[in-house]
Amino acid sequence: MNVRFNEFLDQAQVVLERLEPLLPTAQPPLDWTRTLAARWHREGRGGALLPLQVSLDIQLADLIGVDSQREQLSRNTRQFVAGLPANHALLWGARGTGKSSLVRALLAEHAAAGLRLIEIERDHLADLPRVVERLAALPQRFVLFCDDLSFETGEGDYRVLKSVLDGSLERAPDNVLLYATSNRRHLVAERQRDNDNWQLVDGEVHPNEAVEDKIALSDRFGLWLSFYPFTQDHYLAVVRHWIEVLAGQCSLVWAWDEALERAAIRWAQGRGNRNGRCAYQFARHWVGLQLLG
């Protein structure tokens, strides 16, 4: 009898060891008076909000050349923080043009007024109802931030996400908004055949309805903001701004001249793009070289 009982205990132990990774780890509730940002972490069949250490050094004034986008999203966020109606926002466009930086700059601007940021990955958006439920009764205002939201051809997840967004966002409490960034306006890859020979495509009698199904996902966002590739003048203006900021922090005396401008242009050409990220990287490179010398 004891032998059988011991065998049962051994088997039960094996089962528990297999189940343990699927069980959520107990997490103490976050103190949102001290926590400015968190990330939704899926764990097994559950998940938890884990605190993030965020830097508030990026200010709205640091975002050069995107005045219209900055003002629109800033106004929408001010409405939200004030408890007024506001829209979920989709920021789409060229990479490195300040989409994510704008969202983080708004956190720095409004953190003292109760704004908080929660990062959630695209693959975890199905957990939105769980996240929203945890935030509903809290006094702070929460922006759920999904960076780089897009879907490749053949992925059917966007249909699931549409229903999740419909259910979660339409019934979301007043203290929750969703801000997402993407390189694609419609979030889903589109093909030329979506518009060519629209009368009949791959045997589908109404292919235009399939196209509507694809682009309907972005309609869940009431505010669309477009970010375009930088011109050379725009790029150089951002370079000058960041050199001024970084040099000021180090008390470095510097002057803008033709040689520095040429160096900034060569840096962008070597990377095949002109954007805010490239400008910031060059500024760090150049200021660091001057200080080293």
- Kindly provide the b/e burial profile for residues 120-156, where b requires at least 16 CB atoms within 10 angstroms of the residue's own CB: bebebbebbebbbebbeebebbbbbbbbebbbeeeee
Mean pLDDT estimate for the chain: 81
d(CA 283, CA 260): 10
Question: Tokens 């889903």 correspond to what residue?
Answer: 188
- Report DSSP letters for 31-81, one per residue: -TTT--EEEEEEETTEEEEEEE-------GGG-TT-HHHHHHHHHHHHHHH
Interval 192-215: pLDDT, tens: 555 555 454 555 444 454 555 556
Report which residue type is found at 107.
L
Domains annotated on the chain, with CATH: 37-227 (3.40.50.300), 232-292 (no CATH)
Q: Which residues of the chain are under the pLDDT cut of 50?
A: 198, 200, 204-207, 209
pLDDT of residue 205: 46
pLDDT of residue 170: 65
pLDDT of residue 293: 78
d(CA 41, CA 63): 30
pLDDT of residue 76: 97
3-state secondary structure of 13: helix
Q: How is the beta sheet containing 46-52 ordered, strand by strand?
A: 46-52, 37-43, 115-119, 141-146, 176-182, 89-93, 223-227
Strands (E), 101-202: 115-119, 141-146, 176-182
| Contact between 120 and 128 (Cβ < 8 Å) | yes
Kindly give the pairing relationship between strand 141-146 and strand 46-52: unpaired
DSSP assigned state of 254: -
| Contact between 100 and 110 (Cβ < 8 Å) | no
DSSP assigned state of 191: -
Interval 125-155: pLDDT, tens: 778 888 888 898 899 999 999 888 876 655 5
